[in-house]
Amino acid sequence: MEERIAPIIKSLAETTAGTFELTPKEDEWLRIFIGLQITRTLNAADQVNDSTDKLFKLMFAKKAEDEGIDLSQFRVGFSNPVMHSMQKLRSRRGGLT
């Protein structure tokens, strides 16, 4: 996939005019690539929330048990895990350029 999409993205990046034209095949590959990237991002976001939920439940298991709280009734996570991941990336790299 990357071999097919790389020249298309390179061409788009090097375009100085405000518009560009893709062949029908290039358009198809670009749409497939974008769809795949969206799916990868959403799956990664779900994994962030699953890991966060498990971690917090492990951390608070004893206290919850002592206080009679059923942690299975709660879901701990981020309302927008994709943006949370992007913020972490920015802080690690000193900002995106």
Q: What is the DSSP string of 25-94?
A: HHHHHHHHHHHHHHHHHHHHHHHHHHHHHHHHHHHHHHHHHHTT--GGG-----SSHHHHHHHHHHHHHT
For the entire predicted model, the pTM comes to: 0.53
| Whole-number pLDDT of residue 66 | 96
Give pLDDT tens digits for 13-23: 887 767 778 88
What domain range is 40 assigned to? 2-93
Identify the weakest region by mean pLDDT among 2-6, 17-21, 51-55, 90-94.
Answer: 90-94
Q: What is the DSSP letter of 19?
A: -
Task: Please answer whether residues 90 and 96 qualify as being in contact, where contact means their C-beta atoms are separated by less than 8 angstroms.
Answer: yes
Report how far apart the first and last C-alpha atoms of the chain are (Å, whole number).
Answer: 26
Total number of domains in the chain: 1
Name all contacts of 89-92 with Cβ < 8 Å and 24+ positions apart. none
Element spanning 18, H or E = none
Q: Say if residue 96's pLDDT is above 50.
A: no
